[in-house]
């Protein structure tokens, strides 16, 4: 895990290498290990396999997808269901419904506790600010948390908390924006360098983007994470903004 950028729990290959009875236990262990190290983890293989032929999945398949989400997967993946199956669109829609329902059971506290003893990957001040922002956003029932992220580490630090508030991660680097698509609870947005460099234009951009996309409304709150550029401590500013 120290050498990889992301992990896929490919249960088909895993079941060939180990006793099939061990696959569920190993899946959970791998997901937990990835969460601890802040490595995006995808769970895949036969998640809705019966939908290659049938319009609805089995109850066991629905439970399998839900458990993968609850365990901490950043993504769940279809393969044959969409590649050669008869109902590819239905499979995607149903997987989305299952994931959205399962996410209501994910508690951010369990993931914060899980990573409490982990060595920080972002700068210490950034780590502290993201933890405070996550708690504040949930306490205030904010519409969104917004962050400018040039490396993706701050967005990943927020994602790893499994906060119930959506995270909007703004970057001026296309490759980082693509990478953040895999982060749990994070919506990446590509913009220009000036916007991500200063808190004021970042806040204006995020509020405007949020209104255009229907994720913020008047009277709601945005929790902003940014850098003051006063030091080399990374993201050293957290601000709560009331939308007029």
pLDDT digits over 59-104, tens only?
999 999 999 999 999 999 999 999 999 999 999 999 999 999 998 8
Q: What is the dihedral of CA 132, 223, 220, 143, to 10 degrees?
A: -80
Q: Is residue 75 a part of any domain in this protein?
A: yes
pLDDT on residue 37: 86
Report the pLDDT averaged over residues 41-64: 97
At which of 87, 103, 119 does a domain end?
Answer: 103
Total domain count for the chain? 2
Are 68 and 164 part of one and the same domain? no
pLDDT on residue 58: 98
Compute the distance between CA of residue 133 and CA of residue 125 in angstroms, rounded to an integer: 12
Are 233 and 135 part of one and the same domain? yes
Are 122 and 198 part of one and the same domain? yes
Number of Cα atoms under 13 Å in the Cβ half of residue 113:
4
pLDDT on residue 14: 93
Q: Is residue 158 a part of any domain in this protein?
A: yes
Compute the distance between CA of residue 238 and CA of residue 130 in angstroms, rounded to an integer: 8
The domain in which residue 55 lies consists of 7-103
CA 63, distance to chain mean position in Å, is 21
pLDDT on residue 122: 56
Whether 206 contacts 222, CB under 8 Å: yes
Q: Which two tokens stand for residue 91?
A: 């499979």
Whether 196 contacts 171, CB under 8 Å: yes
Of 34, 28, 243, the C-alpha closest to 121 is 34
Are 145 and 225 part of one and the same domain? yes
- Say if pTM beats, i.e. exceeds, 0.85: no
Are 88 and 206 part of one and the same domain? no
What's the CATH number where 184 sits? 3.40.1380.20
Are 122 and 219 part of one and the same domain? yes
Beta strands in 140-228 (DSSP E): 144-148, 167-171, 186-190, 221-226
- Indicate whether 113 pLDDT > 60: no
Are 85 and 12 part of one and the same domain? yes
Report the pLDDT averaged over residues 213-226: 93
Q: Is residue 82 a part of any domain in this protein?
A: yes
> From residue 51, how far is each of 14, 29, 69, 88, 100 by CA, in Å?
22, 28, 19, 8, 19
Compute the distance between CA of residue 152 and CA of residue 219 in angstroms, rounded to an integer: 29
- Indicate whether 156 pLDDT > 80: yes
Q: Which two tokens stand for residue 235?
A: 């993201």
pLDDT on residue 240: 95
Are 52 and 166 part of one and the same domain? no
């Amino acid at each position: 895990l120290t050498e990889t950028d992301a992990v896929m729990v490919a249960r088909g290959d895993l079941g060939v290498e180990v006793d099939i009875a061990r696959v569920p236990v190993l899946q959970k262990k791998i997901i937990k290990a990835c969460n601890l190290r802040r490595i995006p983890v995808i769970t895949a293989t036969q998640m809705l396999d019966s939908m290659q032929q049938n319009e609805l999945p089995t109850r066991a398949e629905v439970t399998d997808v839900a458990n993968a989400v609850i365990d901490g997967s950043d993504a769940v993946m279809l393969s044959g269901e969409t590649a050669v199956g008869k109902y590819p669109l239905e499979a995607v829609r149903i997987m989305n419904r299952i994931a959205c329902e399962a996410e209501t059971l994910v508690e951010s506290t369990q993931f914060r506790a899980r990573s409490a003893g982990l060595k920080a990957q972002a700068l210490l001040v950034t780590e502290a600010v993201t933890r405070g922002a996550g708690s504040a956003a949930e306490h205030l029932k904010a519409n969104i948390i917004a962050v400018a992220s040039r490396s993706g580490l701050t967005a990943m630090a927020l994602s790893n908390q499994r906060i119930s508030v959506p995270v909007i991660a703004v970057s001026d680097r296309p490759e980082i924006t693509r990478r953040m698509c895999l982060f749990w609870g994070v919506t990446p947005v590509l913009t220009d360098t000036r916007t991500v460099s200063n808190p004021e234009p970042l806040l204006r951009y995020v509020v405007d983007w949020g209104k255009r996309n229907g994720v913020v409304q008047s009277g709601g709150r945005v929790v902003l994470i940014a850098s003051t550029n006063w030091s080399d401590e990374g993201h050293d500013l957290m601000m709560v903004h009331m939308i007029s």
